[in-house]
Amino acid sequence: MINTIEKLGAYNVWANAKLLTHLDGIVATGAELPARALRLFSHLLNAQAIWLARLTGTQSPVKVWQEHDLAGLHKLHQQTSPSLHQYMQDADDAEMTRMISYANSQGNSYDSQVSDILTHVCVHANYHRAQVATTLRESGLEPINTDFITYCRELAGQA
């Protein structure tokens, strides 16, 4: 049986790393990264950290729209993407169906199932990576392909 959430988690690590490498390459050419691209990618990684903290009952190290430079994005990716993926790998059926209570950034209280949260985190990240790609293109910079099917094709090529 395929664990789709775990596969999405692995994809998320790959896509975030691929985007970071691409941004490094842009900077290496002497081009400046658009502030909006950094803001959106910061938000994506902040959200991962916030959701991971909610899932584990810990304090988030970041705020939802806190901005990071490229070095900070690398650090936050390393702190959150693999940990989130590991959480997805380790979660059994009882964990996936567990309900958690939390407050969003506006202070509104909610209850959500862990599997729904984990799915949301991956979908949310993909949405914002697409916004980063659009922002790069609008700034005259070439975006990178971080599509899920591209990840699957690369994975299959490694087998």
Residue-wise pLDDT for 58-68, tens only, equals: 999 999 999 99
CATH code of the domain containing 64: 1.20.120.450
- Total domains present in the chain: 1
Output Rg (C-alpha) for the chain, integer angstroms: 16
- Residues making up the annotated binding site for a divalent metal cation are 43, 124, 128
| H or E element at residue 112 | strand 109-113
Flag whether 97 is in a domain.
Answer: no
3-state secondary structure of 68: coil
Flag whether 67 is in a domain.
Answer: yes
Give me the torsion for CA of 6, 104, 33, 149, rounded to 10°: 20
Flag whether 106 is in a domain.
Answer: no
Residue-wise pLDDT for 101-154, tens only, equals: 999 989 999 999 999 999 999 999 999 999 999 999 999 999 999 999 999 999
Flag whether 105 is in a domain.
Answer: no
The pLDDT value given to residue 35: 98
- Rounded CA-CA distance 90/26 in Å is 36
- Residues making up the annotated binding site are 43, 124, 128
For the cut 80, the answer to whether the pLDDT of residue 158 exceeds it is: no
Ranges 85-89, 94-98, 109-113, 152-156: which has the least confidence: 152-156
* Mean pLDDT value across residues 72-87: 97
pLDDT band at 1 (very low <50, low <70, confident <90, very high): low
Flag whether 130 is in a domain.
Answer: yes
Residue-wise pLDDT for 4-30, tens only, equals: 999 999 999 999 999 999 999 999 999
Cα 155 versus chain centre, distance = 19
- Rounded CA-CA distance 134/128 in Å is 10
- Rounded CA-CA distance 118/29 in Å is 36
Q: Parallel, antiparallel, or unpaired: how do β-strands 99-103 and 109-113 relate?
A: antiparallel
Q: Which range of residues forms the domain containing residue 144?
A: 4-89+111-156
pLDDT band at 157 (very low <50, low <70, confident <90, very high): confident
